[in-house]
Amino acid sequence: MKVAVIGAGILGASVAYRLAEGGARVTLVERGEPGGGASAASFAWVNANEKKPRAYFGLNYAGLREHYRLREEFGGAPWLHPGGNLVWSADARGLRERVERLRGWGYAAETVGEERARELEPEVRSPGVAAAYFPEEAWVDVPRLVRELVERARAAGAEVRTGSPVVGIEAEVSAVRLAGGERVAVDAVVNAAGPDADRVAGMAGSPLPLAPRRGLLVRLEVRGAPLRRVLHAPEVNLRPDGAGYLIAHHESVDRRLGGKDERRLAVELLERARGILPVPEARVSGVRVGTRPVPADGYPSVGAAPGIPGYYEAVTHSGVTLGPLLGRLLACEILGGEVHPLAAPYRPGRLREQRMTEHPIRNAKEGG
């Protein structure tokens, strides 16, 4: 079976690797460089923390566990940074209820007092009234994971075409056309084009409604290692990003992203970080705006789309958490026709059936 995977972000790289490993003849087609899209501008927190309802929580928890499974399978995962997530909140009751709900669903979650919070993060000045710890959660160096998956796909026989935008999909999915006129004959195509997945879906004649949301990621240069793990505070979310760096992000800042004010908002995030960590020397070393690929009802679009044999989608927010899992499940569907129960609620068909005018984004929380 010949399959073109369009897009080499975390979703495309994962599914290409699993397809190639499963015996398909894969062409992974990327218009730029692998991992340069939304996957390069992610807070990259791997979690099932605020995912609702229960079925979506189950998918994300399986997605979180898949990262540890991959580590076993590969005999190591230098891109995976376990250590959990410390949350400081201004809403003690809300945080307690969240912990209780998650524990009831079998998730590792505990409320912690100030002393334990200080043990976990000695440098953090208590920025809220209550704290909780989620020990299984992690963050991921996404570019490094994407590189690994692309290399493994290549080693399993995949052809990787970079700098090659797909500009057309021929009827009944018989070929994809690349900018420059080349035609690659295929039996199936996977749309893993992230925030541009609606354009690629249009090429297949199956419009996909997206509700993309932009977000600001700020890289801070700091002295030493003032933070050990993912931290959520009322005004800023932070995580380490290799020695001497932190990533700062907050939804309240994303909501104010407009025209040319990115630098000012970056400095605001820097100030918020300085408010809870003793990092007076910290400075902004990088600013990135990314677009979250969010299907219009807020949930993933994974699997075969109805009416177009050979056309599949792998489009989702929380793609860092879900990428390795959805890549494996989608490869099973393409190669064996089997739809996994965890992915069954998120078929592309539902987005074509519903009227898209009244879709609230029900999982709009960061890490979504």
Ligand X SMILES: Cc1cc2nc3c(=O)[nH]c(=O)nc-3n(C[C@H](O)[C@H](O)[C@H](O)COP(=O)(O)OP(=O)(O)OC[C@H]3O[C@@H](n4cnc5c(N)ncnc54)[C@H](O)[C@@H]3O)c2cc1C
Report the site for ligand X in 62-81 (rule: CB under 6 A).
none
The pair of three-digit structure tokens given for residue 76, joined into one six-digit string? 């190591």
Q: What share of the chain is helix, strand, coil (3-state, %, to 5)?
A: 35, 25, 40
Query: Which position among 16, 38, 149, 173 is part of the footprint of ligand X (CB under 6 A)?
Result: 38
Point out the residue whose Cβ comes nearest to ligand X: 9
Among the residue ranges 88-96, 98-106, 284-292, 298-306, the one whose residues contact ligand X (CB under 6 A):
284-292
Pairing type for strands 2-6 and 188-191 reads parallel
Taking the complex as a whole, the smallest distance from the CB of residue 217 to ligand X amounts, in Å, to 5
Distance between alpha carbon 360 and the CA centroid of its chain, in Å? 20
Query: Which position among 11, 62, 184, 342 is part of the footprint of ligand X (CB under 6 A)?
Result: 11
Q: Is 195 in the site for ligand X (CB under 6 A)?
A: yes
Nearer to ligand X, 31 or 229 (CB): 31
Q: Is 84 in the site for ligand X (CB under 6 A)?
A: no
Q: Is 9 in the site for ligand X (CB under 6 A)?
A: yes
CA separation for the pair 20, 11 (Å, rounded) = 14
Among the residue ranges 43-51, 75-83, 150-158, 305-313, the one whose residues contact ligand X (CB under 6 A):
43-51
Site string for ligand X, 199-228 (x = CB under 6 A): -x--------------x-x-----------
R_g of the chain computed on alpha carbons: 20
Phi, psi of 6 (to 5 degrees): -100, 110
- What sections of 175-303 are H helices per DSSP? 197-203, 251-254, 262-276
Q: Is 143 in the site for ligand X (CB under 6 A)?
A: no
Q: Which amino acid is at 220?
A: L
Report the site for ligand X in 315-334 (rule: CB under 6 A).
316-321
Q: Is 44 in the site for ligand X (CB under 6 A)?
A: yes
Judge contact between 33 and 311, C-beta under 8 A: no
Judge contact between 9 and 3, C-beta under 8 A: no
The pair of three-digit structure tokens given for residue 117, joined into one six-digit string? 């919070």
Taking the complex as a whole, the smallest distance from the CB of residue 278 to ligand X amounts, in Å, to 25
User: CA angle 52-191-65, nearest 5°?
Assistant: 40
Element (H, E) at 138: strand 138-140
Taking the complex as a whole, the smallest distance from the CB of residue 12 to ligand X amounts, in Å, to 5
The site for ligand X, by CB under 6 A, has a size of 41
Query: Which position among 7, 128, 143, 310 is part of the footprint of ligand X (CB under 6 A)?
Result: 7
SS3 210: strand
Nearer to ligand X, 29 or 331 (CB): 29
CA separation for the pair 243, 39 (Å, rounded) = 21
> Which stretches of the chain bind ligand X, using CB under 6 A?
6-12, 29-32, 36-39, 41-45, 165-166, 192-196, 200, 215, 217, 290-293, 316-321, 367
